[in-house]
Amino acid sequence: MRIGITGATGLIGRAFAKLATASGHEVIAYSRQKTPLRDAAHTLQLPAETPAKLPETRLDVLVHLAGESLMGLWTADKKNRIWKSRVDLTQAIMAHLQSWSTENRPTTVLAASGIGYYGSRGDSLLDEQSSQGTGFLADLCGQWEGAARQATTWGARVVHLRTSMVLAENGGAYPLMSRAFRYGLGGRLGKGRQWMSWIHVEDEAALMLWAIENSQVTGPLNLCSPHPELNCNFTTKLAHSLKRPAFLHAPALALRLLLRGMAEEMLLCSQRAIPNQATNLGYRFAYPKLEDAFVALS
């Protein structure tokens, strides 16, 4: 298949492009950079002023991953950039794809979203049928998915990639966390009773490719391990894998004061998500348990 990827130079985009190419698919990377993506057959440069106007080529699948990083202080300006780079850009891309010729338009669209869709839900198990929560991320993901559903107007199958925290050696949260623990500065966040959903980057990429190759997969797809962890257990297991202590902790009040809304919705919220669609349709995780993921990463 010919698979186009936006956000191809990001952590997930790179991992997915590598796997898709190794699996015999032809990857077309859409990028603002002129440098060709290593694992793409073609790299098509996006117009600087109108990044939604993807250069037309025949695609079987579009994997839309582009978006402003959630990391950083959530000032009003930062939140506006996050919203525009996800909701507004996705709306514009889907509208632009409708102008493509019928033979070139993708028949499958995988669009990034996140388990932030569910909001903070305590100990409740959250599968793909769970309702939308409240908060900035929940609103963002709801509108983001709504924008991607425009692809159904030309008959495309749409899969919403509700990604959890991706664990990888070369990007995302893991290098930051492991560095803190190696210096003896690691520990739980707040009381540590919030649930953390996570996924190893290899399973993230493999699940995406599995969703492309299995036409039964549609709608929201939780990209997370079947075994979420309480924050206190997550930090204990990370410390054990690195042979370091985990006796420090970050008080919730300090996190809220330093990081504003980001702390509340990304570090202290509780999301016990499980990948029901994936497990019910037969996907087998390479790293279902956190201990195995940490062994592979350390």
Q: What is the pLDDT of residues 194-246, one digit of tens each?
A: 999 999 999 999 999 999 999 999 999 999 999 999 999 999 999 889 888 77
| Pairwise CA distance, residues 268 & 12, whole Å | 24
CATH number of the domain at 2-165+200-224+275-285, please?
3.40.50.720
Q: Tell me, what's the pLDDT at 180?
A: 81
| Pairwise CA distance, residues 32 & 270, whole Å | 35
**Domains in the chain: boundaries:** 2-165+200-224+275-285
Residue 57 has pLDDT above 90, yes or no: yes
Residue 32's pLDDT band (boundaries 50, 70, 90)?
A: confident
Q: How many CB atoms lie within 10 A of CB 181?
A: 22
Decide: 220 and 277 in contact? Cβ < 8 Å. yes
Between 263 and 180, where is the model more confident? 180
